[in-house]
Structure 1
Amino acid sequence: MAKPVLMDFFAEWCGPCHQQTPIIDQLKEQMGNQVEIRKIDVGVDTAETRQYAAKYDLQFVPTIVIEKDGVLIKKLVGVQDLGTLESILKPLVEQ
């Protein structure tokens, strides 16, 4: 089975996104390579970011999307704390 993927959708101009960044960095330190973490700047208008915005119905940043084996597990809007993210990801890693 594939490892879970956490996608952090952010924009450079977004204040709360800057609050989320150190939490994501800490999560990466604690979970290591058990989780794939992708940071996606949706503040830059590209075909790829428009595709993500449509697929995940992104209306606000920061938004965190967690998938496992291509299946959406959770979509979280707003700044999320480390405990919340770990509580979602740890059971996915142990599967």
Structure 2
Amino acid sequence: MAHVTEVTMANFNSLLDEELPVLVDFWAPWCGPCRTLSPIVDEVAGELEGKLKVAKCNVDENQDLAMKYGVMSIPTLVMLKGGQEIARTVGAMPKAKLLAELESHL
């Protein structure tokens, strides 16, 4: 299984310097749709390893990052490339839909 980075304010800026696009999953442990989407994101991380970095950001522990990216609902997936947002999805979705959304930006 691919490595999924736990995001904090301390390590977030290093993600912005990645050559590969970075998918950040904004979630919380109490969020039902987040718990549904989380294993799908983990599977996608494995399938797209080498094409995409995946990180997860607990919004309860990292409220500043959630505010910086305007996360109003969770789960929110934000794709960054070169430090800039290139795609965003909100809500749980099937794996096939997530893969299609991501692959259009790789």
* TMscore range, shorter length: 0.7 to 0.9
Partners in 2 of 1:88 and 1:37 — Cα distance? 15
- Tell me, yes or no, if the aligned pair for 1:23 and 1:82 is still in contact at 8 Å: yes
Instruction: Please report the TM-score for the alignment, with normalisation by the length of structure 2.
Output: 0.74
1:71 paired residue among 84, 95, 106 = 84
Q: Please state which structure has a larger fraction of its residues in helix.
A: 1
Q: Does the 8 A contact of 2:26 with 2:66 survive in 1?
A: no
Find the counterpart in structure 1 of residue 51 from structure 2.
34
Residue 4 of structure 1 aligns with an amino acid whose one-letter code is P
TM-score between both structures, scaled by the size of structure 1? 0.81
Q: CA deviation at 1:23?
A: 0.7
Conserved? CA contact 2:25–2:56, under 8 Å:
yes
**What whole-Å deviation, never above 9, does each CA across 1:28-79 have from its counterpart, x for those lacking one?**
12111321100111122xxxx2321222111111111011111111121111
Task: Name the residue aligned to 2:26.
Answer: 9
Q: Which runs of 4+ in 1 moved over 4 A?
A: none
Long gaps (5+) in structure 1: none
Partner SS, residue 48 of structure 2: helix
Cα distance in 2, alignment partners of residues 13 and 64 from structure 1:
17
In structure 1, the residue corresponding to 2:71 is in which secondary structure? coil
AA partner of residue 50 (structure 2): N
3-state SS of paired residue (1:6): strand
> Matched residue pairs, number?
89
Percent of residue pairs bearing the same amino acid type = 33
Aligned-residue Cα RMSD (Å) equals 1.7
